[in-house]
Amino acid sequence: MRTALFLAAALTACTPLPPPTSTPSGGGVTPDSAGLQPGGTDLRIDFGRAQEGVIETVSRLVGSQPADVTLIEECGAGSVTAAYWQNGLTANFLDGDFVGWAVSEPGLPVAGNLSVGMTPPPVQMVETTLGREFESNGVWALVADGSPDITVLWSGITCFFR
């Protein structure tokens, strides 16, 4: 009898796993001054990581592949490869290394309680050819001309033309 109970318990533990879904695992990512912080873990995706691994990991975390990966040859730092996701996140790579990010759509919070579409905090801003810019703990923000709200956030190397 004891053997039958053990066998029945062991067999019920052998149920198939549910099929994978396209929903994000790990709660997405939060961009910050050093790279990306995946949700639900202390592990990080810091600047300097390899392009292939960053794209693969971010895709898994946000639940989709990049909408586009393109080479931008005319950047001040050199030719930058940019991977764009539909949630507004762009990861920038130089010589195969993760070197920067930008967020251009509302809905993806950035470290320091910043997000695209929010009214900027009362901080000192610098006028540039792109609009008004400010920095908060290594994260930069742009308030484009004619807008009262943050339009782009970034850290690291980007490819903005001024």
Q: What is the CATH number of domain 27-156?
A: 2.60.460
pLDDT of residue 145: 87
Using alpha carbons only, give the angle 54, 73, 141 rounded to the nearest 5 degrees: 60
Residue spans per domain, the chain: 27-156
Rg (CA), the chain: 21
- Reading the chain (162 residues) residue by residue, the pLDDT tens digits are 343 333 333 333 333 333 333 334 345 999 999 999 999 899 999 999 999 999 999 999 999 999 999 999 988 889 999 999 999 999 999 999 999 999 999 999 999 999 999 999 999 999 999 899 999 999 999 999 888 999 999 999 998 876
> pTM for the full model?
0.81
Rounded Cα gap, residues 89 and 68, in angstroms: 11
Residue type, 47: F
pLDDT of residue 9: 37
Rounded Cα gap, residues 79 and 92, in angstroms: 10
Please identify which residue in the block is written with the tokens 């900027």: 120
Residue type, 13: A
Backbone φ/ψ region at 117: left (φ over 0), alpha (ψ -120 to 50), beta? left
